[in-house]
A and B are shown apart, each in its own frame.
Chain A
């Protein structure tokens, strides 16, 4: 709903900013606005969901292939891309390979299967045992009961193959079929009404779809047995049961997987897995450093959420979590000799909050240099939901080289600002990103660039800051922060980018956020309990009418 956010501040900013006036309010939130009917879309499992499910269902210790069809990211989120992406022939082939690789590992340790089959699989099991195993495993992997036809198909497959080989091989191929099935690979939402008619109406999700939508939102994985039982009995459709379940799920360790996945997508932390820095420029460069940097950010987020702190503290907290590698980069003593320990950063380090963490500083920089532009784009787009247009295609975008007259990035970019076609947007990005220039492209502190002192002061949308330490505070108080966060969590949960028609919902969620002292868990719970989450519009018109 970027378009809904755009109100001009002044003419030159029009194309580059999105502003929304939302005064903080402490009065109790109003009731939920009426729900906008948005047609549900099939969501393909993301790679992380595929991996989580295999581990959650079959247990730890399996090697789950990661070379599946790559996730598509749209509006910054893989979870939103999952609603529009299609699949390539190579992707289908990779699903096939992955299914066999997993199925073979499972039958090699056939005790893993006992919970579903309940009988010894390496002797001759009864038909009833096999059929029960197929039913219960199917329910868990496919998130709803098998139809009669589906059950028959899988039992027949088992029989054909087991007859020619043996029981476990039969099970192997049945497992593989389950893991290759679109019933597993795609999440569909069904409602309690009939599919035809009611073209404009808002429909309530059926209990199976609700259980699944909840578990993917909160755990990034499939429902557990308790949720499936409440879906079976339809008790989950009861408001108080639902609330109890949400509370239970948020207490569960899997909630951390869920919140980590949201921030992994939002902050693009996964990109740290493939990042490259030039070791000739940065002596700290190493894949281990980027992995540690990602973990530091995850731990900080866990800490904020677990202690139910004001979410804005993510940008200002002096508490962080570092290992030896990061403490060396930050120039502070390592808190413990092995693994991660908590430290309190002093103002001397110049570093506090997310923006000054190695993860963000590395991601939004080049292999051999920092980038005020990329850092500015990140703050504007990801944290404040402001739109930043791409550069025009046919212009020379090179930044003038450092000279004696222009030794620092600020001076080089100022030359760049002289071109009116670049100046408007570049000022908007760069004057923010320059606030982080005390941190080089790998996130190490520096006072000088080319022997000239760095000036890290700046201004964001009317508020001055002195340096990076100060800037985190200014960003945390920016009026777009709350609307932007609610938009992103809501969109992630529902699987579509919040539409203009859903703007009343954004306002309503922002009220909740402020009223609940910026508690992230309250925001999540409000969304999970909302009518908007528990319903959807009619499935898009079908070509044959039903």
Chain B
């Protein structure tokens, strides 16, 4: 037989107090979306646009230094022209982590600010990646603390700590269902709370009690592992509470059109532009609807070996086997930046107050190496877009003439997002000062 859910019965149960034992901190629950009122109305958001296997540094660095007309985009960055006045390109910096493992050292090093741990069989992050630091700090107000998503990848560049790589959602339709599926309510769709949200919270109460009981029987390491499970349960509980509240009144928020159910590869080549276009629109709307304030978007992953329409070898193989000036490697970088431009323009197309959604974002664009062929961590590719609500400089090319530490930029961004950090990174790559050139 089919399940039947009678809303009246549901309400009666709630009145009688029999439905859920609310284990959430009550204050947190009922404060609702007050944060929307801060700073003249719009929250700050962070996004990472990440591509794999690096670039050709000689075509990356812009000409001229300074603001506005004092600098012009390089060949690799040319397609970012429509949003140039919202960019800060940082060149001449290095990632200072020990470069012990090709692609992994840079990939984990950039995201965590410090050296990876483990061995060749299993490299992993010593600490959470900075998107997750942000998720902990500013993610509590929204339905999702962070969204870890991708375009053509099975692997994220987001870490919760050692042996805890966050799963990535790269399937456009699954991403749509997750954010804009049955539980989503656009502004104005008030009052129609899905009754199963309450049942799910009752189930989580049971699961949490089971977890605590099991935890008591285990050793220290396993207790920590189950603590992470409990964190996940708490996240769902918060989410269910948010979904039971009325959605925030955000003018730009609406339910986007659903993507296609599938984007099959054509001749073993993924439909990258089509996928990126639809992912970009959905990410922009997830931010506009305040479903999350932290997005980690892996356009392509470190070490990927994707075949492009214009290549006859996977991307990673190409970086090592294309000879000379590597025109095809260069073309892949240019394509990645075209797609970054599509992503940024999706954000810039959504009005917020006097500006756009992009203005209230800080978007970092980077990779796990600079020159892929040599796995170099010098001349690290760093582009920043948006000003986090006026806290970061724009239309700037800043070049470090003393091989500065790339972590400085990350620290500036994290501070601009509202984190009160004394330092970022560890060991050789520790920084205690941000990059003042990008700070307002």
Contacts and interface: CB of A to CB of B under 8 A. Distances in A.
B231 to A, nearest CB: 6
Interface of A: 39, 41-42, 67, 69-70, 72-76, 81, 84-94, 96, 104, 107-108, 110, 122, 147, 149-150, 153-154, 157, 160-161, 163-166, 168-169, 172-173, 176-177, 180-183, 185-186, 188, 190, 195, 274, 276-281, 285, 366-369, 389-391, 393-399, 401, 539-543
B305 interface: yes
Interface stretch (B217-225, B252-260, B346-354, B359-367): B217-225
B232 A92 contact: yes
B191 interface: no
Interface stretch (B72-80, B86-94, B156-164, B429-437): B156-164
Contacts of A366: 305, 313-314, 317
A149 B231 CA distance: 23
Given A69-B167, A85-B163, A92-B236, A41 B207 contact: no
14 contacts: A72-B122, A86-B224, A87-B232, A88-B228, A89-B236, A149-B209, A166-B4, A168-B1, A177-B203, A180-B203, A182-B210, A182-B214, A367-B307, A542-B219
Contacts, number: 236
A390 B102 CA distance: 8
Contacts of B3: 104, 107, 165-166, 168-169, 172
Given A39-B219, A390-B101, A399-B321, A280 B312 contact: yes
Contacts of B122: 72-75, 81
B121 interface: yes
A74 B123 CA distance: 9
B99 to A, nearest CB: 4
Given A86-B164, A150-B210, A163-B13, A396 B145 contact: no
A176 B235 contact: no
Contacts of B224: 86
> What are the 5 closest A-B residue pairs judged by CB atoms, nearest first?
A92-B232, A540-B219, A393-B99, A74-B122, A539-B219
Interface in B367-423: 373-376
A240 B343 CA distance: 66
A387 to B, nearest CB: 9
Contact of A543 (B164, B199, B211, B220): B220
Given A72-B163, A195-B217, A394 B314 contact: no
Given A160-B18, A160-B202, A186-B214, 15 more contacts: A74-B121, A86-B164, A90-B148, A149-B213, A160-B13, A160-B19, A161-B202, A163-B13, A176-B203, A183-B210, A186-B226, A188-B214, A366-B317, A539-B219, A543-B220
B38 interface: no
B219 A541 contact: yes
Contacts of B19: 160, 164
Contact of B163 (A86, A161, A190, A276): A86
Contact of A173 (B1, B5, B203, B235): B203
Interface of B: 1-6, 9-10, 12-13, 18-19, 99-102, 105, 120-122, 145, 148, 154, 160-167, 169, 174, 199-200, 202-207, 209-211, 213-214, 217-226, 228-229, 231-233, 235-236, 265, 267-268, 305, 307, 312-314, 317, 320-323, 373-376
A305 to B, nearest CB: 27
A401 B313 CA distance: 13
Contacts of B218: 42, 188, 539, 542
Given A41-B221, A399-B320, A278 B10 contact: no
A130 B207 CA distance: 19
B317 A274 contact: no
Contacts of A165: 3-6, 9
A40 B213 CA distance: 18
A89 B209 contact: no
A396 B373 contact: yes
Contacts of A104: 3
Contacts of A190: 217
Contacts of B267: 279-280
A118 B207 CA distance: 26
Nearest to B266: A279
B380 to A, nearest CB: 14
A286 B233 CA distance: 41
B166 A88 contact: yes
